[in-house]
Structure 1
């Protein structure tokens, strides 16, 4: 297939603005990862193209076809154009008189009008613009690139608390991969720091998402990478936030001693600003409560109150922030662990305040997972006081939301409540039996669905 005539491959490369070998390499690597997830094998995700190979393809300097792995990736990248057509001269329509490099000279049959469905088309257009901005800046990173990355991260963390986790996961993963690719290039030291902070934040989001999907091992891996990025960036806020997430995962995994240790380890990092320290104290309070360490739990709640009085605004909103509602919810859980009539009263009051705080958010900004967990605290407190009807109202609300936005911690709380209800005297009343049947039906429905999550 040796020759010097322009090929469809060279024409497509010019039209898409991928003539820079590094830009094409990013597109090729991204296509390899997508193909690995969609069709396999997993090893395909690490496929790369060398600059020398790209230049040979661009010149049409081939003897035969590319190897099988490269053929698959190229067909995926330029779909629906078959790879056999890529390294031949483009097919021109009879009316075309321009040079072969003119986009008008390529017929639809040659694959130029390759439609990308729905959201993929929008994301592809945005990524092409981002690549163009990077070329204009004369570097793989510049002000426009970093501004766009920061805007994307802000959007993701803002919308995470009220979006289905599964639909968000792929988007965050794509942003993380792009950030990793930028870090492989050359930047000024201050830009490298910004990229490490961005990469750490995105790995933190993926860790939280993996945890919400019940994939604890993947979540821990993501969290370790996020912390390493925070170390590389020298950013206390990110390090404290990640340690808090690790402590939270240990708490939900039934390891309260480890949760306390991780929360205390995070406390050595004084955040530049924001609420990460309050989050650490609140998680520590819950963990001490689970261990029935009353004095330590109450001291941690007081510490959270003190830190709230000193807190400044978070740099990033949404899931990276720890609003008052979450602090109240953690306090209500702590009181439930400690038990007693006074603990039930305190838990009910704090859970009611947390629910009211979450529900007061503007439409589309309600933190659905935390609202559900606060409702479960309220349900447990009410059942403990003998108010099964009041408890049932909250549980039914949670079942409805969890059917739309599945979160592992909410699933666990529903299961815990079901076991408590079975052991409670009112669990065998007509209302109790009906509530137990609703819980069993909900859990069975979730179990019949495909398990959540995926490669991280």
Structure 2
């Protein structure tokens, strides 16, 4: 008696006795369709107790030689050595054992813990988070990102088809990218760097070029904010190798321009911005153009990036034009796509450009909506940019003005919160 039979073992017993399915079914007193069902199910199907007893009896009737060969095949202690099999098995038994091995492995490969509904829901979760992030506080969205990514991780620990595994890696990568973005908004650049490196690993595992291009761009921004601009340039250029849409290309060129501005290279800035403005690539990709949100790079965001780049170079007039365009586009656009973070940063850059031109009152007007933001939406980049404003109004020409002192106090209160 072998204990609890499975369909795989029943198949091996039938082959050991050199019986057809019809003969074996008659031998056990069952319908041949039942035997076919057992064998198709392999190790996952267990015959009913009454049939288990019939199988035990059938095994007992095997002659000693066949019984020994069959028992060695079923032995769980070690895998059969197929090279040694011809000495103890007939040719047919060897071929059938190889066939059973293949069918069992294929059955496991076909089994999955991921259904189409699960993947569709996870896709919807990522799309929702990427779009809602522009409207919500980063800390609360971080909790939601972690919840969904942990579900993806649990699924990856299970068994699924290779195509579904690749899909899950893509989801893990997009969520890690979102967490990198949230980490920068909350002021944790080291954590952001760790998240974006994980996102890159998942992009490689999934083979998704859209995620590769976006991740390289985000990593370049993190390196730039971490005072490693040369490395940031290399990352932005590396991302361009994977860009397969106009949106991805324009985004990476704008990121590269911002880094060149930090390095003071006006010629490289102008080159990158010209290329971005003249880009005619009409291709789209799923991440930048379909999911969008954090991953998108629409006209308002491009104008904001150009304004920030010109501010870095100290070029007031193009900075004013670009930031005013960004603010106007955000104000005129749909509320569901109005990124409070990017719009607020554009207003700070607009205020800086006004200060470059000597316009203290205009700068204070530009900052009024920013200084009224709720505390949970005061992202780290705003604090850093406003510190730059404080330095400017503390310089000769501004520091003695009553308006400058009042604005400085408001910024101090904003940053303290």
Q: Same fold (TM over 0.5)?
A: yes
Residue 202 of structure 2 corresponds to: 229
Matched, 1:270 2:243: yes
Runs ≥4 in structure 1, deviation > 6 angstroms?
A: none
CA distance in 2, matches of 1:312, 1:422: 46
Among 338, 347, 353, the alignment partner of 1:375 is 347
- Cα offset, 1:254, TM superposition: 2.7
- Cα offset, 1:364, TM superposition: 4.3
Residue 316 of structure 1 corresponds to: 291
Q: Does the CA-based 8 Å contact 2:304-2:346 persist in structure 1?
A: yes
Residue 122 of structure 1 corresponds to: none
Residue 114 of structure 2 corresponds to: 141
Compared with structure 1, are the counterparts of its residues 348 and 402 closer, same or farther at alpha carbon in structure 2 (3 Å cutoff)? farther
Aligned residues: 305
Q: Does the CA-based 8 Å contact 2:111-2:161 persist in structure 1?
A: no
- Cα offset, 1:426, TM superposition: 2.0
Residue 296 of structure 1 corresponds to: 268
Residue 325 of structure 2 corresponds to: 353
Matched, 1:166 2:139: yes
Q: Does the CA-based 8 Å contact 1:200-1:238 persist in structure 2?
A: yes
Q: Does the CA-based 8 Å contact 2:246-2:282 persist in structure 1?
A: no
> Residue 264 of structure 2 aligns to a residue in which SS?
coil
Q: Does the CA-based 8 Å contact 1:210-1:218 persist in structure 2?
A: yes
Compared with structure 1, are the counterparts of its residues 333 and 195 closer, same or farther at alpha carbon in structure 2 (3 Å cutoff)? same
- Cα offset, 1:428, TM superposition: 2.0
Q: Does the CA-based 8 Å contact 1:243-1:262 persist in structure 2?
A: yes
Q: Does the CA-based 8 Å contact 1:379-1:391 persist in structure 2?
A: yes
Q: Deviations over 1:190-215 (max 9, x none)?
A: 11111111110011111111111111
Residue 405 of structure 1 corresponds to: 377
Q: Does the CA-based 8 Å contact 2:112-2:161 persist in structure 1?
A: no
> Residue 214 of structure 1 aligns to a residue in which SS?
coil
- Cα offset, 1:363, TM superposition: 2.7
Matched, 1:331 2:306: yes
CA distance in 2, matches of 1:321, 1:154: 11
Matched, 1:196 2:162: no
Within a 5 Å distance, the mapping from 1:43-442 to structure 2 comes to 139-271=112-244, 273=245, 275-307=247-279, 310=282, 312=284, 314-339=289-314, 343-401=315-373, 403-442=375-414
Q: Does the CA-based 8 Å contact 2:111-2:160 persist in structure 1?
A: no
Unaligned runs of 5+ residues in structure 1 are 1-136, 447-456
Unaligned runs of 5+ residues in structure 2 are 1-109
Larger Rg: 2
**Over aligned residues, Cα RMSD in angstroms?**
1.7
